[in-house]
Structure 1
Amino acid sequence: MCILHQRQVLDAIPAWKDLLVHGSQLSGKSCQLQPQTIGRRSSSAMSMLPTLSLFKGKSYPTFAKVQKSVDSKKFYAALFSFANYWEKHLEDRVNIQLPDSSWADMSTHAFAKELMTRPGGNYPKYGAFDRDYAGSEYDGFQDIFTSAVSANLEHGRFNHAKDVIENYYTLFVSDEGDINMRGPQVGQFGLTLSLLAKYAHYTGDTALLQKHKAKIVATAGMLVKLHEEGLALPNSDSGHGLIHGWSESDACLKGRPEIWWKPYFSNSAFTIRGFRDIAALPLFKDESANWLKRADALQKRTVESIKASIMTDKGKTLYVPPLPGTKQTFRESMAARGDSEQAWPHRLYAELLHANILPKELQNQVQDTVRAYGASSMGVIANVGVPSPATRDILGFISYGSALSLLYLDRIDEFVLFLYSHRYHVHNRGAWLAGEVTGTAGGVAAFCVPAQMTIPIILRWALVLEDQDSDLLYLGRGVPREWLGTGKAISIKQAPTRWGRVDYSIMLTAPGKVRAQVKFSGKVPKEIEVKLRFPKGGKVKSATVNGKEAKIAPNEAVLVQTDGQTEFIVEAIGV
């Protein structure tokens, strides 16, 4: 996919917007297009089999007199119709402006790719190529649902998020709360509850949740049942009080799937997050007290169990295992037997970090474990398998939970490494197709939609990020220093939050001077943190907020008490 600009195509058309064209390439000033079929829509409805008026453009010589070039007016009319079609389906996304516009283009491309992959625009598909991964056996995969809802909500694409939820809860969620998918993943049920709560907060639409309330309560009820089973175990059992179950869907394909029915910390962590977030909605007032009580009990038990499980004899870095009751690292366990209960540790750690329910000290220790014991590649969660001297595998999907944790922990340089590594090592060149798992030595990777959703999700979080448990909004926390150093605008407009929409921008206005602006269009949080990561070598000397002197925090930020105000101008001087 490439981007065509106004000057390259037709200067006579004003108000031209960037155009994404699937599979096309331009060469120089000649505006030659490689062979490509461009079509004009005859219907505004989204369909996998649209009715088009087709024109073919060629940049190579014609064959004898049989082939005739299409009239250029018809070709470009169809081209612009094609552009208008996609613009219509993507016009509700938030406006992001960055020094390198390709980052925002990449997010737009991801949403277009998602629509192209989903039959009818909303039916889930894990990939696009049969069998991996367009086969129907993958359609109910929870990661398709959770990554799509997350990405579309964060970018303000509420209608599509609603369509995805409606489709999934109608076709894939049973009255008992489980899903039509082999190998349901326990942690993803908790993440689902959390995202449904975010949908209600962002959109104000509780009617959709009311419609599916019985199924939502049933899903939470399954987690309650699993919690009860954990509580029924003897106190001497390392899994007492924790959520047992599969973390990875592929466990059900093994000869003895019960091996992976274990009290993984990630299962309990996402259950805690889900219970707390969904309980905050008045719609579930009858169930909320029980859910919150269980969340508190689960958190206490999870933290207690993790602390008791930490190993001090595995290396210089403390080792946090993904489950209690083990004396081996995941590498040692997987090397010892092929059916290791610690298989798929990448998911176990990514989800544990994603839930963000641990004290910061423990959360940091988990991140350090991932980095020190071989669960990361190029700064991204690795797809952990048998070690190879030739390559390391990078996990394209679900790894965004680790990136979220890095932001919350203020490990920004590591977050920036994740951001760039994912873009340049997980996506192929030109077409920007994201692989489920990609090797550091190159080669072919299987495309999957959840991996495609990663850049939109973490790019939004880099600019605007909510604290999940406090009345606090982070602004610009993940912005790379180099972006600010360009002197070009960095902004996001109408980013949705649980308080309402917010505009945020930051710019280096002169050497050593930074100006950030924040504007809320609805309610405001109690506090906002405005990050001021000066270009490399510089640091903040002083800052003002709306003309008044502000205190600089040790983490290069200004923490602002909003006091009900809706607009803020932060100006900083560096040294």
Structure 2
Amino acid sequence: MPSSFNRRSFLKGSTLAGVGVAAAAPVAIAAPKLLPVDQVSTQGQSRLSTFTSDGTQWTVYEDQSRRDGPISFVSTKGAFALDKRLAACFDDIKPSYLGLALKDICLADADLLADKLLENGDPDPEQVRRAAPPLGWNYTRESLWWRMPWTNFVGTRQQGDTMPIFPNGRTRGYRPEHDFPELEGDDGVKTRWEGLLGGWLPAIHKIIQVSDTRYYDLLVFADVTAPDELLVQTWHRTVQYDNGKAVKTSFGYSYAPFPPRRTVPSAEDFYAALLAFAGYWQNEVKDQAAVTLPDKALADMVSHAFAKELITRPRGVYPKYGVVDRDYFGPEYDGFQDILTSSLYANLEWGRFDQAKAVLENYFDQFVYDDGMINMRGPEVAQFGLTLSLLARYLHYTGDLATLKKYAGKISNTAVLLAEMHDLSLKKPVTDAGFGLIDGWSESDACLHPDPSLWWKPYWNNSSFTIRGWRDLARVWPLISPDQAGQAAGWNRRADQLQAQLVKSVRANVRHDLKPAYLGVLPGLKQTHREALAEARAKKQRTEQGWAHRVYAELLHADVLPDDLADIVIDAVRGHGGTSIGVLANFSPANETNRDQLGFISYGYAQQLLRSDRIEEYLLFLHSHRYHSHTPGTWVAGEVSDIDGGLPLYCVPAQLTIPKLVRWALVFEASDADTLYLGRAIARDWIASGEPVAITGAPTRWGAVDFSVQGQGASIRGQVAFAGQSRPKEVHLRLRVPKGKTLRRVLINGKSARIVGRQKDTVVFSPAGVAAFTIEAVLA
């Protein structure tokens, strides 16, 4: 695209308006964050281009001596650099599975890989990565069935769709092989590395090696200034390297040239677009709580997840479960409750309140009826409860009472809907195994089968999240609807009644004859989920134990079980085929070839690991989800991901899992107690590294909190600060010291604190009346 081409002028003068098609509004572009020029080194870098943008002249440099060399932009006003991080997408990990046989891993009831990775305490992230091959290295075109073999996608907030990117860097409109024939097709690009420019920006960077002496460096990103309603315009750069030297560079914009009207863009065009791209995306996540971790990739995954959500959602707001393919991008999925709850949860936890509000309003305007029912084919009972709980969290974090008042009728009727279902459960005979427990679909897909009544059952999660939803909503309901404040007492009474029945029934249904003890997905079952699924497959039938993974994840997530029962459920899941490399599995009959991870609702299981102080298992979940539920380098999160190198199917709730896990590791709130947990799942190696671990502006129901710790040889230094007037009754500060060390003394604001906890690594203090605290710990 020539630099003289002005898209906005074209659309303004276009005859499109005459035929009733409105052009999108011009896109405002923020400037990227700049550093003083002397803080961005260009020494040894190649000068690539000079251009002028908004009256400022910029010079672009790149370190072309190495594959991950940064691209630097320098002006008289300041400078910035976009670094590169690459991960191998081919078979750099021989599928040895830590010395275990894949057949044994898949057939075992125990999670053999998890057991091995947890032998020495905190799991080693590199060993976790090497526990299975990377996603996408071993897929075949035939294995994708109806899907196109895309491996990533790009887009913007303002567009209504996305653009798929294929292994060789092509899109549906542009092919780099036009200039570089060696890049034709996907079979010839198996040996490649991929990453994201600037650490997390949604610009795809590829290295494709075609021989020992030649490789291609590709960059692809969306035009953030494009106002098209649906179509995503794309920028492309391909550089051929021979013997480590750049010998040919080509640029492209969206389509092949069609001279004289559509010509090849210049280098100046490309780098000006990249400048705008960086500013645009930095601006989109500027409200996110800042986080600093020794493992920088984990921090980048948080920001990238929010960028991917904005790309996935048309206009950044309207819900979509997936992208590109009709199945998952189709409108029949749009009202899926998990899209709402995963987004609301993640955005609230990271202080992205504007996005949380936009998502909430869109859903309640378009997908919630006045009677509390939703505009979606398969409502899930537990997700109604989670929605109510998150609405309470929204008010606690944002103070935005006006928005919830606007939807007070719909919110109340959602709670009443659950009460009506509870009333039906109380009409069952007291001898019924499901007496007092809520029947209903646990999984949305139940409605698609010939007889969905098979899954209209009293699954544990239906009741557990109903309890949580009623209880959390009752705390804020008098503020939302003062004239109906009396409803809150009724919901609390129901929550207590339902919780008592749930706990009683769960205890009665634990099978202590199995080792470890086992709990089925609903009362009265005689088979384990593996037995039921195997029998159903053999008989070519369906089973009420389908989607058992959702039951366990949501039962644990709701936090309504006593500690001992929560531990029994965790052990039952992990010990009876329910996890894969530490992540909740997509339950299936035992077989010799696959043991898939569940990427999108499994975070509820992880949250209970944290709550139950099973920190090593929590860290394994975090690292395993990162490496085995995401494609390497470019982090496309799979709804379900195998462990033998297949290509996963993306869904946005899976993408928003890592932000939750990282946030909770640093700052986590008790569900019902007035307690704030800090540093609960900080890895020991992070403290040992001597690098800072910090989060700034983490929202809590007591206001924003800043928290940081840093190992300094034989000591640990840290700070805690509360921004508002409210305080929790207690702060539980965890200091997970490096392996082989112990805490000898901890001072909070200069005063000695008592060290408590099972591992003697926690201090408890009351922050009443004090805004800031210093932490000084001495190790032995």
TM class, shorter-length: over 0.9
Distance 1:9 1:178 in 2: 51
Q: What's the CA shift for 1:465?
A: 0.5
* AA in 2 matched with 1:381: L
* Structure 1, 12-21 or 173-182: larger mean CA deviation: 12-21
Partner of 1:562: 767
Q: What's the CA shift for 1:302?
A: 0.4
Give the RMSD, CA atoms, in angstroms.
2.3
1:386-425 pair list within 5 angstroms: 386-425=589-628
2:518 equivalent to 1:319: yes
Say which of 202, 205, 210 aligns to 1:24.
205
2:730 equivalent to 1:527: yes
Partner of 1:360: 563
Q: What's the CA shift for 1:22?
A: 2.1
Distance 1:387 1:90 in 2: 43
Q: What's the CA shift for 1:48?
A: 5.0
2:404 equivalent to 1:212: no
Partner of 2:284: 89
Change beyond 3 A, Cα 1:42–1:534: same
* AA in 1 matched with 2:519: V
Distance 1:17 1:468 in 2: 42
Gaps of 5+ in 1: none
* AA in 1 matched with 2:428: L
Say which of 167, 182, 187 aligns to 2:377.
182
Name the SS of the counterpart of 2:704 in structure 1.
Answer: strand
Name the SS of the counterpart of 2:698 in structure 1.
Answer: strand
Partner of 1:228: 423
Partner of 2:497: 297
Distance 1:176 1:166 in 2: 17
Distance 1:47 1:152 in 2: 25
Distance 2:749 2:219 in 1: 55
Q: Could you report, residue by residue, the CA deviation over 1:464-491 in whole angstroms, capped at 9, with x for unpaired residues?
A: 0111101110001011111111100000
2:717 equivalent to 1:515: yes
Q: Could you report, residue by residue, the CA deviation over 1:331-371 in whole angstroms, capped at 9, with x for unpaired residues?
A: 12222233221111100000000001111111111111111
Partner of 1:487: 690
Identity %: 48
Q: Could you report, residue by residue, the CA deviation over 1:184-242 in whole angstroms, capped at 9, with x for unpaired residues?
A: 10000000000011001100001111111111111111100010000111111111111
Change beyond 3 A, Cα 1:62–1:399: closer
Q: What's the CA shift for 1:181?
A: 1.1
2:335 equivalent to 1:140: yes
Change beyond 3 A, Cα 1:55–1:320: closer
Q: Could you report, residue by residue, the CA deviation over 1:240-293 in whole angstroms, capped at 9, with x for unpaired residues?
A: 111111101111111211111111111110000000101111224231011000
Distance 1:119 1:493 in 2: 30
The answer to whether the 8 A contact 1:38-1:75 is kept is no
Q: Could you report, residue by residue, the CA deviation over 1:365-398 in whole angstroms, capped at 9, with x for unpaired residues?
A: 1111111111111111000012221221000010
Distance 2:717 2:219 in 1: 47
Name the SS of the counterpart of 1:508 in structure 2.
Answer: strand
Which portions of structure 1, spanning 4 or more consecutive aligned residues, are displaced by more than 6 angstroms?
A: 65-69
Q: Which has the higher contact order (CA 8 A, sep 6+)?
A: 2
Say which of 57, 68, 74 aligns to 1:12.
74
Change beyond 3 A, Cα 1:172–1:21: closer
Partner of 1:271: 466
Distance 2:236 2:321 in 1: 31
Say which of 75, 99, 120 aligns to 2:294.
99
The answer to whether the 8 A contact 2:293-2:299 is kept is yes
The answer to whether the 8 A contact 1:158-1:203 is kept is yes
Distance 1:392 1:465 in 2: 30
Distance 1:97 1:147 in 2: 23
Distance 1:488 1:47 in 2: 45
Distance 1:265 1:386 in 2: 21
* AA in 2 matched with 1:385: S
Change beyond 3 A, Cα 1:442–1:26: closer
Name the SS of the counterpart of 2:327 in structure 1.
Answer: coil
The answer to whether the 8 A contact 2:202-2:307 is kept is no
Name the SS of the counterpart of 1:280 in structure 2.
Answer: helix
The answer to whether the 8 A contact 1:37-1:57 is kept is no
Change beyond 3 A, Cα 1:62–1:278: closer
* AA in 2 matched with 1:289: A
Distance 2:427 2:517 in 1: 31
Please say which structure displays the higher CA radius of gyration: 2
Q: What's the CA shift for 1:537?
A: 1.8
Q: Could you report, residue by residue, the CA deviation over 1:438-479 in whole angstroms, capped at 9, with x for unpaired residues?
A: 011120110000000000111111110111101110001011
Q: State the TM-score, normalizing by the size of structure 1.
A: 0.94
* Structure 1, 357-366 or 550-559: larger mean CA deviation: 550-559
Q: Could you report, residue by residue, the CA deviation over 1:152-191 in whole angstroms, capped at 9, with x for unpaired residues?
A: 0001000000000000001111111111111110000000
Partner of 2:456: 261
Partner of 2:143: none
Distance 2:383 2:226 in 1: 40
* AA in 2 matched with 1:340: T
Distance 2:572 2:534 in 1: 18
Distance 1:80 1:160 in 2: 24
2:564 equivalent to 1:383: no
Distance 1:445 1:147 in 2: 19
Name the SS of the counterpart of 1:494 in structure 2.
Answer: strand
2:508 equivalent to 1:308: yes
Change beyond 3 A, Cα 1:47–1:495: farther
Q: State the TM-score, normalizing by the size of structure 2.
A: 0.69
The answer to whether the 8 A contact 1:57-1:70 is kept is no
Distance 1:564 1:439 in 2: 51
Distance 1:288 1:98 in 2: 41
* AA in 2 matched with 1:9: I
The answer to whether the 8 A contact 1:505-1:516 is kept is yes
2:393 equivalent to 1:331: no
2:254 equivalent to 1:59: no
* AA in 1 matched with 2:366: L
Distance 1:143 1:160 in 2: 16
Distance 1:17 1:501 in 2: 30
Name the SS of the counterpart of 2:518 in structure 1.
Answer: coil
Distance 2:491 2:426 in 1: 15
Name the SS of the counterpart of 2:708 in structure 1.
Answer: strand
Q: What's the CA shift for 1:40?
A: 5.3
Change beyond 3 A, Cα 1:243–1:532: same
Partner of 2:778: 573
Distance 2:386 2:284 in 1: 27
Q: What's the CA shift for 1:33?
A: 5.2
Q: What's the CA shift for 1:323?
A: 1.0
Partner of 2:51: none
Distance 1:564 1:32 in 2: 60
Q: What's the CA shift for 1:554?
A: 2.4
1:190-209 pair list within 5 angstroms: 190-209=385-404
Gaps of 5+ in 2: 1-34, 42-69, 83-197, 210-214, 241-247, 251-256
Q: What's the CA shift for 1:55?
A: 5.9
Partner of 1:287: 487
1:336-355 pair list within 5 angstroms: 336-337=535-536, 338-355=541-558
Q: What's the CA shift for 1:9?
A: 2.2
Q: What's the CA shift for 1:87?
A: 1.4
